[in-house]
Amino acid sequence: MNRTEIYLDHAATTPVDPRVLEAMLPYFTEQFGNPSSIYAAGRQARAAIDQARARIARILHCQPREIVFTSGGTESDNLAIKGVAWWHRLNGRGNHIITTAFEHHAVLHSVQYLEKFGFEATYVRPGPDGIVRVEDIEAAIRPDTILISVMYANNEIGTIQPIAEIGKLAHRYGILFHTDAVQAAGTLPLDVERLHVDLLSLSAHKFYAPKGVGLLYVRQGTKLLWQQNGGSQESNRRAGTENVPGIVGMATALELAYAEREERNAHLLALRDRLIDGILQRIPDARLNGDREQRLPNNVNVSFEGVDGETILLNLDMHGIAASSGSACTTGSTEPSHVLLAIGLTPEQARSSIRLTLGKDNTEQEIDRTLNVLEETVTRLRRLASAQARAR
């Protein structure tokens, strides 16, 4: 097995920052207490969680008690959507949910699950640029709409959605608004007041903290039926012994990301544009998927006409370069990406696409090496395909 030397899949996951690991380590060993225990070791763990909650609240501009720690982005999305839906069912208050056709599966499959129980849903399509129109959301609103869920930035094509405008719209109609901000965290502002959100999901492993920990911001007064039953952790909202090291790591990583945000974004933007320009200039019949400007500073998603994306990825891997074909959760399936289909690509075009997502530690040299390998690979695969076509 060869080694990954150039990691370009930061939308799938990120390595833990050594500073984050260092902050976590004591909570695995000396300070291992259960935060629900009343003796000193337990109280120390409780204090660590309280501090982490306060540190995160400063970045989200919310009250610490509005943060519920979870096991990650998937759980937060499930909790937001099912929690709101079941509370409204229990109280006989409406039945309709609006989301978009290109959400992460944690949102899409949660809404589809609710449809099995008689909830109704509208899946608004984004434009060909990968951006949802506020008017299209408004046109989908019904008197019985209880929730709108629109992602902050798309995980496959990196396009940034008009969250604040959609939030204002939702509130004008008295509808709750959730955003999956998992991909936005670290690069975009997370001020919940400015975003006009009631619910916001984050996942630590997308911003240099470990996997298996995340949070749901829940605006004070938001009605939802809590989904995880058991002990009284998280003020009776999410039962289960807290992931103390994970929570400490997440707070540390979020603080680092926002303290270093300007430098990180400038670095990512320069690398991203070098990669996009290099691909479009050097490789014919390549197209960038998703709007060029309204996109995350670390996302490149491109289609190479007539070439299979999975084959490109295998070739990149042989050169020690890690990238992906859209969402990690669908790798291995031959279904074309629902995101690329939603923005109007044909199944053929969708299958010829790859996603390269950059991180704070990538270098210009790595981008240049990737460009060389990519150009060589696509040229070779196309030559091979046309030789095979001639032979038939």
| Contacts to ligand PLP from residues 44-103, by CB under 6 A | 72-74, 77
Rounded-to-10 torsion of CA 47, 50, 51, 53: 160
**Secondary structure (3-state) at 127:** coil
Binding of ligand PLP at residue 149 (CB under 6 A)? no
Q: How many chain residues bind ligand PLP (CB under 6 A)? A: 15
Minimal distance in Å, beta carbon 194 to ligand PLP? Answer: 20
To ligand PLP, the closest distance from the beta carbon of 328 in angstroms equals: 8
Distances (CA, A) of 270 to 221, 260, 367, 386: 42, 16, 10, 35
Residue 147 makes CB contacts below 8 A (sequence gap 6+) with: 81, 84, 85, 97, 98, 175, 176, 177, 178
Can you tell me which of 45, 57, 68, 106 binds ligand PLP, judged by CB under 6 A?
A: 106
Taking the least distance from each CB to ligand PLP, the nearer of 140 and 157 is: 157
User: What binding mask, one character per residue, do residues 233-272 give for ligand PLP by CB under 6 A, x or -?
Assistant: ----------------------------------------
202 binds ligand PLP (CB under 6 A): no
Q: What does the block give as tokens for 386?
A: 């046309």
The residue from 155, 233, 252, 315 that contacts ligand PLP (CB under 6 A) is 155
Give the x-and-dash track for 176-195 against ligand PLP (CB under 6 A).
Answer: ----x-xx------------
Distance of alpha carbon 193 from alpha carbon 103, whole angstroms:
23
Residue from 14, 99, 179, 203 binding ligand PLP (CB under 6 A): 203
Active site residue 62: no
User: Which one, 70 or 315, has the nearer CB to ligand PLP?
Assistant: 70
Rounded to a whole number of angstroms, the minimum distance from the CB of residue 108 to ligand PLP is: 10
109, containing H or E segment: helix 105-115
Name the phi and psi angles at 150, rounded to 5: -135, 130
Q: Does 126 bind ligand PLP (CB under 6 A)?
A: no
Q: Which residue stretch of 81-89, 203-211, 245-253, 331-339 sits at the interface with ligand PLP (rule: CB under 6 A)?
A: 203-211
Do 72 and 211 form a contact (C-beta atoms < 8 A)?
A: yes
Instruction: Give the shortest CB-79-to-ligand PLP separation in angstroms.
Output: 12
Residue 104 within binding range of ligand PLP, rule CB under 6 A: yes
Strand partners, 357: 9, 299
> Of the listed pieces 26-34, 56-64, 138-146, 198-206, which binds ligand PLP according to CB under 6 A?
198-206
Residue 180, number of CB atoms within 10 A of its CB: 30
Here the tokens at position 107 are: 């949102």
User: CA-based Rg of the chain, rounded to a whole angstrom?
Assistant: 22
- Token pair for 159: 């396009």
Rounded to the nearest whole angstrom, what is the least distance from the CB of residue 309 to ligand PLP in the complex?
19
Kindly report the number of other CB atoms within 10 A of residue 384's CB atom: 12
For ligand PLP, which is the closer residue by CB, 250 or 374?
250
Q: How far is Cα 294 from Cα 161, in angstroms, rounded to an integer?
A: 8
Backbone angles phi, psi at 19, to 5 degrees: -70, -30
- For ligand PLP, give the closer residue by CB, 126 or 214: 214
Residues 6+ apart with CB under 8 A from 144: 94, 95, 96, 120
CB of 30 to ligand PLP, least distance (A): 28
> Is residue 141 a contact partner of residue 124, using CB atoms and an 8 Å limit?
no
CA torsion, ordered 224, 225, 231, 234, to nearest 10 deg: -10
Cβ proximity to ligand PLP, 66 vs 77, nearer residue: 77
| Site string (323-362) toward ligand PLP, x via CB under 6 A | ----------------------------------------
Give the active site residue among 164, 270, 329, 385.
Answer: 329
Residues at the site binding ligand PLP, with contacts judged by CB under 6 A = 72-74, 77, 104, 106, 151, 155, 180, 182-183, 203, 205-206, 214
- Would you please indicate which residues are annotated as catalytic (active-site) residues? 329
